[in-house]
Amino acid sequence: MELISLNKDFTISKLKTTDNININQVFTFFSKTDEEISLVCETKYVPEDALETEHGWKCFKISGVLDFGLVGIIAKISSVLAKNNISVFVISTYNTDYIFVKEETYNKVTLILSENGYRIVNI
């Protein structure tokens, strides 16, 4: 399986409102529930009024469009990383999944995934 390493710095934030989310940026993920508004975007686009932020994330995108019937893709990747004490933050979209890891683990993650049969493509 091919994973695309996005050459960007990401931040995960908690927001009070959606007013300052710039949805025109290429990588902007936000969700709203009864308890919170969360935003994942490039660090340089985090709204100034964010309530909480967690900087220092890197992202791998699963290449291609995934069928909704596929089973275990995220489970396999996260299991390989969990065995190496690496946590992940995952976002699923209609087409594919995005796996976020802390910046300080990025090189180790790339090596581990490569050793486990994943092809890493840098863009």
Distance separating alpha carbons of residues 77 and 53, to the nearest angstrom = 25
Mean pLDDT of 42-63: 96
- Split at pLDDT 50, 70, 90, the class of 6 is very high
Q: Is 73 left (phi over 0), alpha (psi -120 to 50) or beta?
A: alpha
Amino acid letter, 34: D
Q: Pairing between strand 2-15 and 37-42?
A: antiparallel
Alpha-carbon torsion 74, 81, 10, 62, what sign? negative
Residue-range definition of the domain harbouring residue 8: 2-122
Q: What is the CATH number of the domain that holds 36?
A: 3.30.2130.10
Amino acid letter, 96: T
Q: What pLDDT was estimated at residue 66? A: 59
Q: What pLDDT was estimated at residue 95? A: 87
Give the global pTM.
Answer: 0.92
Q: Domain total for the chain? A: 1
For the stretch 67-94, pLDDT in tens is 556 556 888 999 999 999 999 999 999 9
Helix (H) or strand (E) holding 39: strand 37-42
